[in-house]
Amino acid sequence: MTDIDVAGNLREVLAEIPAGVELVAVSKFHPASIISEAYDAGQRCFGESRVQEFLEKEKSLPSDIRWHFIGHLQTNKVKQIIGKTSLIESVDSQKLLDLIDRESAKAGVVTRVLMQVHVAKEETKFGFYPEELQQYFSDRKFENLTNTHICGIMGMASNTDDIDRVREDFRSIASIYRRIADDTSLGLRGFDILSMGMSGDWKIAVEEGANIVRIGTRIFGEREY
């Protein structure tokens, strides 16, 4: 046990999240024992951002957990996680996407992914630029994928206390998502996930249309890096 009331925090967060919005409990940097507390309280969807850490937890925790990979994924590590994720939310380049597709074909699985879009002002954040993403779809490059299902978009707002700026970022991400989802000429199926919002800004994200929120600190407390 820890001094953090994981079950209580989880209950409070879930009580606030509207129906139709899924909670990813972001458990990165927290030990399996703390994830178990959330699992015992009913949570089944968790988010991890580092391959090695994810693999260790995945091995030791119940098999009905749905794992979302949410961190930058290095191409040399793709193979290790194929078949073990419910959703890779952080596809940030075409090279990565094509590799996920090849490794999924080799493994005989279909991997569900989100395209990560970069709108935040920090240069350090990964993701496709909006124009790049738009181009990827208008060039119909997704048609080359055989074993990857692009389910939607993931994005992050700028890391700032300026809530107008945060809202503006979420609005941009949502508008990119809508433009692709509503373009019937693309013939996409099951492109219906918009993942945005973290502990500090998820309510704004939901107001702007998010249907997945990724919340860590609010549930598990501060991470020790």
State the residues that interact with ligand PLP by CB under 6 A. Answer: 26, 28, 49, 70-71, 198-200, 214-218
3-state secondary structure of 112: strand
- Exposure string (b/e) for 170-190, b if CB count within 10 Å is 16 or more? bbbbbebbeebbeeeeeebee
Residue 164 C-beta: closest distance to ligand PLP, Å: 19
Q: In the complex, which residue's CB is closest to ligand PLP?
A: 216
Show the beta-strand stretches assigned E in 140-220.
Answer: 148-155, 193-196, 212-215
- Which residue, 57, 75, 76, 52, is CA-closest to 67? 57
Residue 220 C-beta: closest distance to ligand PLP, Å: 8
3-state secondary structure of 86: coil
Distance CA 43, CA 190 (A): 24
Nearer to ligand PLP, 152 or 216 (CB): 216
Residue 192 C-beta: closest distance to ligand PLP, Å: 19
Distance CA 185, CA 151 (A): 17
Residue 225 C-beta: closest distance to ligand PLP, Å: 11
Residue 4 C-beta: closest distance to ligand PLP, Å: 13
